[in-house]
Structure 1
Amino acid sequence: MAYIVNKNDRLTVYVEDLTHDGSGVAKVDGYPLFIPNALPGEEVEVQVMKPMKKYGFAKLIEVKKASPDRVEPPCHVFWDCGGCQLQHLSYEAQLVQKRKTVRDVMDRIGKLPHVPVHPVKGMDNPWRYRNKSQIPFSESNGETIAGFYKTRTHDIVDTDVCIIQSEEADELMSTLKHKLHELGIRAYDEINHRGMLRHLVIRKARATGELMVVLVTRTKKFPQKEAVIDVIKNVVPEVTSIMQNVNTQNTNVIFGEETILLYGKPYIVDTIGDIQFEISARSFYQINPEQTEVLYGQALEYAQLTGNETVIDAYCGIGTISLFLAKQAKEVYGVEIVPQAIEDAKRNAELNAIDNAHFEAGPAEVVIPNWYAEGKRFDVLMVDPPRKGCDEKLLETILEYKPKRIVYVSCNPATLARDLRILEEGGYRTQEVQPVEMFAQSSHVECVAWLEI
């Protein structure tokens, strides 16, 4: 098959845009080339690596004319690591680009050119913001390595420092890497399914300073367990919880089903605003605590609660948004398909003496009709789905019962735009979209959308 470009062609091209994953986009006679590490407005020399029928991939060889927004990445492994995509773009330009990304999908996918997309609510300091780190361990040439995966691979980029995670995570990652080797504990070999330590997971509560360390192991048997616990306590004396999670499966899923307490308590406590949350090893909890308050504040503003409303929180998780809503609503009903998350949500409601938040486990598209059948009526629907967006059956349920206001929190602008189009065709009108920075230095952006029937 003949292509406009061929493999190994060297071309000089002009970069027009960025993709959703942070690659530059250039066009050769209308044929798109995706170029990692290239920025809009740049003239670059590239080598074609993988031509395909409708688009191709190329490698950046040289920046001939740099964007004024290009900066030197402060991370020494940025060019190899897949954790961040935009450290080479100034932070101010990152925010502009993220707004453009949202605007583009609202127009192209959502067919919503009339809907305002506001400037991104950014961070004062876009570094060291992550309250959770998931660090894979392995071995290379007889040495233990740990760090983060290269883009689209499971090859670990070995490092002792990540400048978007906590300093405690850096210290633990570096120390354990060397101590495990001394203690004779083998790191996991993903290809042959051997070795013991698969991942190190660290969670830090910003408000309380409490710290949880989770050691994800291939086997329940844990040689030198007490020695490892002592190492962790010496590195981070403030640690309040050390857990072992056992994942015996030959899989790239991080957590297994069994979690064992090794030291301290099985959770840490954090607060968002004036609400406390108990966070266990596997709880979903937003990774950027500073911006979570901004995100939830925006959701509350769009909900426009007066104290008389009954609200549904679909995909409620451990009740983080639900409990915020309950402070200003008459009643809140949260639904989540993960039973353990619902137990956490109930416990968090009890922890905060909130008695007008009710939680039920099950698929939202099943539970919500049951609530209506019981005679309940709802004024506001809050949804915060995973990246794939709302389940099709949930959207059908929403359009059947039509709560008068929807607040849609999304971590994927493309699926948000798709779902807004479906809701618009069902009678809703999108009022506006507010992007919020949750993942600085990456190409991802969170959004809050407000809809009225």
Structure 2
Amino acid sequence: MTKHETPVAKNDTINVTFEDLTHDGAGVAKVNGYPIFVPRALPDEEAEIKIIKVKKNFAIGRLINVTKESSNRTKPPCPIFKRCGGCQLQHLSYEGQLEYKQKHVKDVLARIGGLPDVPVHETLGMEDPWRYRNKAQVPVGERGGHIIAGFYAERSHEIVDMPNCVIQHEENDKVVQLVKGLAKKYGIRAYDEKKHKGTLRHIVTRHGKTSGELMVVLVTRGKELPNKKNLVDDIRENLPHVTSIVQNINPKRTNVIFGEKTEVLWGEDVIYDSIGDIRFAISPRSFYQVNPSQTKVLYDKALEYADLSGSETVIDAYCGIGTISLFLAQKAKKVLGVEVVPEAIKDAKNNAKLNGLTNTDFVVGEAEKVMPWWSAQGVRPEVVVVDPPRKGCDEELLEAIVNMKPERVVYVSCNPATLARDLKYLDEHGYETKEVQPVDMFPQTTHVECVAQLVLKS
């Protein structure tokens, strides 16, 4: 084999043994050290596969026949699992999923972070890993003159019509099916993203786990929504728990779901939910974790790692609507939260008021710019908590943390790869990662949240 040849060619049918899973849940087999990625294959399985794509450094295959099954293989309960891009791991037993997530975190900490000796605990899972999502954001389309709604097929913008979803709360399923039927009844056309025509773009629904309250958001291309009053009346009649019906207008040619303008069609502009003892008001566009019972597990661990006695000042960078800040405020002397989204800060202030917490202060801005300003004002936090988006922390922010020298840093992460990168930076600048706790916020998918505890090296 010459330098540029690969050991397999497109359309080859070969027998392989799988040895691992990728970060997005595909099985990994190797031929002469050359990796082949095959969706829905599992480690220790032997299978016949067909090569469908060949690149210089890897190939992609399709499973034809599994000749030796993993003891962790299970039958997915969802009839559209193979077509829908919403879940990746329904074919893997739940115990297997938790082990896979722990191993994935360990691997990236060693490979990207250069931290092979940091203890990574067993993943904290759910007793019942189904029907946990309190929020659905479902794109709407048309096929053969019928309204369809569901998640996109993997790596595409093709909507897979979904009668129900086994990881969504049942109320969310009811909303999606009802709105689909009402759109047909009242002649409301689905949005066509190629032609930028039609009305209904997304059905978004939020359910309060502890309150039972329900919010329905209709995302439309323009202000026009045919038969608006009848539509609202029918939703209210069919959904006894609905407390908020909202229209969001998004006129842009974009993949972003929400537009800037939101109008309440009926009821309240927020719904309420609680995590532990803290109550939250949730508006249509506010970020709120989709799995409230596991969010409590995650935040309890963050609180444990913050190790608060009541005398500390805590900074919560990327504070959002104040979810973690308010948890911390129960045990800290003072919590300062910073977030770039103005609406989120407004929600955070309201949520602090809602819970009677007066030891918080929330400001709008970029954490990497606000923190040096706080530092110049003489703020010396004992603890800094970060919960960044998937891209992780900006280096400027990490630099600001290092300059402030808090005794402890608690890093909440939704992406193990960027967590590992940032822990490496902090390790090189005076912080030791004591331990990492993975938490399964999204069963049946490859996503895993983590909480890491870091302490200032003496």
TM-score between the two structures when normalised by the length of structure 2: 0.98
- Name the aligned partner's letter for residue 332 of structure 1: V
- CA offset at residue 233 of structure 1? 1.3
Q: Structure 1 residue 323 and structure 2 residue 326: aligned?
A: yes
Counterpart residue number, 1:404: 407
Whole-angstrom CA distance in 2 between matches of 1:235 and 1:117: 47
Residue 181 of structure 1 aligns to a residue in which SS? helix
Q: In the alignment, is the contact (CA less than 8 A) between 1:335 and 1:362 conserved in 2? A: yes
* 1:25-36 correspondence to structure 2 within 5 Å: 25-36=28-39
Residue 160 of structure 2 aligns to a residue in which SS? strand
Whole-angstrom CA distance in 2 between matches of 1:232 and 1:182: 13
Once the two structures are overlaid, the 10-residue window that deviates more, 153-162 or 393-402, is 393-402
Whole-angstrom CA distance in 2 between matches of 1:341 and 1:169: 24
Q: Structure 1 residue 383 and structure 2 residue 386: aligned?
A: yes
Whole-angstrom CA distance in 2 between matches of 1:403 and 1:149: 43
Gaps of 5+ in 2: none
Which of 190, 194, 200 is equivalent to 1:187? 190
Whole-angstrom CA distance in 2 between matches of 1:206 and 1:176: 21
- CA offset at residue 47 of structure 1? 1.2
Counterpart residue number, 1:373: 376
Whole-angstrom CA distance in 1 between matches of 2:352 and 2:247: 27
Q: In the alignment, is the contact (CA less than 8 A) between 1:99 and 1:117 conserved in 2? A: yes
Q: In the alignment, is the contact (CA less than 8 A) between 1:176 and 1:231 conserved in 2? A: no
Which of 306, 310, 314 is equivalent to 2:313? 310
Whole-angstrom CA distance in 1 between matches of 2:234 and 2:77: 29
- How big is each residue's C-alpha offset from its partner over 1:205-243, in whole Å with a ceiling of 9 and x where there is no partner? 111111111000011111111122122212211100011
Q: Structure 1 residue 230 and structure 2 residue 233: aligned?
A: yes
- CA offset at residue 411 of structure 1? 0.5
- CA offset at residue 312 of structure 1? 0.3
Q: In the alignment, is the contact (CA less than 8 A) between 2:45 and 2:68 conserved in 1? A: yes
- Name the aligned partner's letter for residue 79 of structure 1: K
- How big is each residue's C-alpha offset from its partner over 1:27-59, in whole Å with a ceiling of 9 and x where there is no partner? 111111111111111111111111111112111
Q: Structure 1 residue 257 and structure 2 residue 283: aligned?
A: no
Q: In the alignment, is the contact (CA less than 8 A) between 1:36 and 1:60 conserved in 2? A: yes
Which of 335, 338, 345 is equivalent to 1:335? 338
Q: In the alignment, is the contact (CA less than 8 A) between 2:188 and 2:225 conserved in 1? A: no
- CA offset at residue 4 of structure 1? 2.3
- How big is each residue's C-alpha offset from its partner over 1:313-350, in whole Å with a ceiling of 9 and x where there is no partner? 00000000001101100000000011110111011111
Q: In the alignment, is the contact (CA less than 8 A) between 1:171 and 1:235 conserved in 2? A: no
Counterpart residue number, 1:344: 347
- Name the aligned partner's letter for residue 449 of structure 1: A
Once the two structures are overlaid, the 10-residue window that deviates more, 318-327 or 50-59, is 50-59
- Name the aligned partner's letter for residue 432 of structure 1: E
Residue 395 of structure 1 aligns to a residue in which SS? helix
Whole-angstrom CA distance in 2 between matches of 1:275 and 1:172: 27
Whole-angstrom CA distance in 2 between matches of 1:415 and 1:56: 25
- CA offset at residue 175 of structure 1? 2.3
* 1:18-417 correspondence to structure 2 within 5 Å: 18-417=21-420
- How big is each residue's C-alpha offset from its partner over 1:58-105, in whole Å with a ceiling of 9 and x where there is no partner? 111111111111111000110100000000111111101111111111
- CA offset at residue 273 of structure 1? 0.9
- CA offset at residue 281 of structure 1? 0.2
Once the two structures are overlaid, the 10-residue window that deviates more, 2-11 or 333-342, is 2-11
Q: In the alignment, is the contact (CA less than 8 A) between 2:16 and 2:49 conserved in 1? A: yes
Which of 426, 430, 435 is equivalent to 2:429? 426
Q: In the alignment, is the contact (CA less than 8 A) between 1:14 and 1:41 conserved in 2? A: yes
- CA offset at residue 158 of structure 1? 0.5
Counterpart residue number, 2:440: 437
Once the two structures are overlaid, the 10-residue window that deviates more, 47-56 or 116-125, is 47-56
User: Identity, % of aligned pairs?
Assistant: 60
Residue 157 of structure 1 aligns to a residue in which SS? coil
- Name the aligned partner's letter for residue 15 of structure 1: F
Residue 158 of structure 1 aligns to a residue in which SS? coil
Residue 62 of structure 1 aligns to a residue in which SS? strand
- Name the aligned partner's letter for residue 447 of structure 2: H
- Name the aligned partner's letter for residue 177 of structure 2: S
Residue 318 of structure 1 aligns to a residue in which SS? coil
Q: In the alignment, is the contact (CA less than 8 A) between 2:434 and 2:455 conserved in 1? A: yes
- Name the aligned partner's letter for residue 270 of structure 2: Y
- CA offset at residue 267 of structure 1? 0.3
Q: In the alignment, is the contact (CA less than 8 A) between 1:172 and 1:235 conserved in 2? A: no
Whole-angstrom CA distance in 2 between matches of 1:183 and 1:340: 33
Q: In the alignment, is the contact (CA less than 8 A) between 1:187 and 1:198 conserved in 2? A: yes
Whole-angstrom CA distance in 1 between matches of 2:238 and 2:88: 30
